[in-house]
Amino acid sequence: MDETTKVAIIGAGPAGLAVAACLRQAGVDFVILEKEQQAVPAWRRHYDRVHLHTTKRYSSLPFVPFPKDYPRYVPRHLVVEYLDAYAKRFDLEPRFGETVRAITRDGRGWRVESTSGALRAWHVVIASGYNAEPLLPKFTGIDAFKGKTLHSADYRNATPFAGQSVLVVGMGNTGAEIALDLAEGSARPTISVRDGVHIVPRELFGVPIQMVGMATRLGPRRINDSLFPLILDLVLGRLEKFGLRRPKQGLLQQIALASRIPVIDVGTIGKIREGAIKVAPDTAEISERGARFV
């Protein structure tokens, strides 16, 4: 007979741990299934220099704030330390090495099939992560490329790339920060940017951009979207001359309608100004020794 539980939580990342802690506090029975052998595996694999781009005040999980001696923007190793302590505090013990293969309706509940068997649950929480599976674009000519290719999920630091030319495809927050890390690590990075991109400083006149964004909710989106470019040009300068154009959609409109957050600059723009990071258009194809852009 299948095991039964009130709630099955799929994934032991930050979201899964947060849900489990809330259920623990409410006295609700649950099971956490995690395909890896440790909790929060994604944070353990992130590149070395990554920090939270949001302040610790608004980035902690329920019931437990980040320690007071942590910096405002918490680095990766301290995020992992915090999450491990969080799981221990609430006695959260995920079942590791269990990959969920199917979730099907079973009467008024659900049947969850994993590599170790099946269980029945009244509710299922999918907490496996928004970017759980790396997606590597298939560029024309990539098979003939003589250099090394890797997804950002496999990047750790700039050491293996020192002195080399490196193409970073895509300027989201990860691409922008990896390009910065490469530039600081004596590589020669170029960022290929397909579309317009909104870029904001991590802090605006000393105030975390996260808190500035929260304050904009008090005003009309259209007005705020018209004011932001003026303020950002004052702080960051006109970036079009470096090949970085803004999207037609306003910054707040893009967040609301397309769920696309801006790039939070932690030093990349400065390196672009210095010429340490080059900006190129969209990548059209890859050759044996390089790339051709649109």
DSSP per position, the chain: --EEEEEEEE--SHHHHHHHHHHHHHT--EEEEESSSSSSHHHHHS-TT-B-SS-GGGTPBTTBPPPTTS-SS-BHHHHHHHHHHHHHHTT---EET--EEEEEEETTEEEEEETTEEEEEEEEEE-S-TT-S------TTGGG--S----GGG---SGGGTTSEEEEE--SHHHHHHHHHHHHTT-EEEEE--S---EEESEETTEEHHHHHHHGGGS-HHHHHHHHHHHHHHHH---GGGT----SS-HHHHHHHH--PPEEESSHHHHHHHTSSEEE--EEEE-SS-EEE-
pTM of the model: 0.89
pLDDT of 1 reads 56
Which class in CATH covers the domain with range 142-293? Answer: alpha beta
What is the pLDDT, as a whole number, of residue 224? 82
Nearest C-alpha neighbor of 193 from the set 272, 282, 284: 282
Superfamily of domain 3-126: FAD/NAD(P)-binding domain (3.50.50.60)
pLDDT (tens, 9 = 90+) of the chain, 294 residues, equals 578 999 999 999 999 999 999 999 999 999 999 999 999 999 999 999 999 999 999 999 999 999 999 999 999 999 999 999 999 999 999 999 999 999 999 999 999 999 999 999 999 999 998 777 788 888 888 888 988 999 999 999 999 999 999 999 999 999 999 999 999 999 999 999 998 999 999 998 889 988 888 887 777 888 888 888 888 888 898 999 999 999 888 888 888 888 888 999 999 999 999 999 999 999 999 988 888 898
In this chain, the answer to whether the domains covering 3-126 and 142-293 adopt an identical fold is yes
Distance CA 132, CA 76 (A): 18
Q: Any idea where the domains of the chain sit in the sequence?
A: 3-126, 142-293
**What would the two tokens of residue 211 be?**
């808190």
Tell me what pLDDT residue 282 has. 92
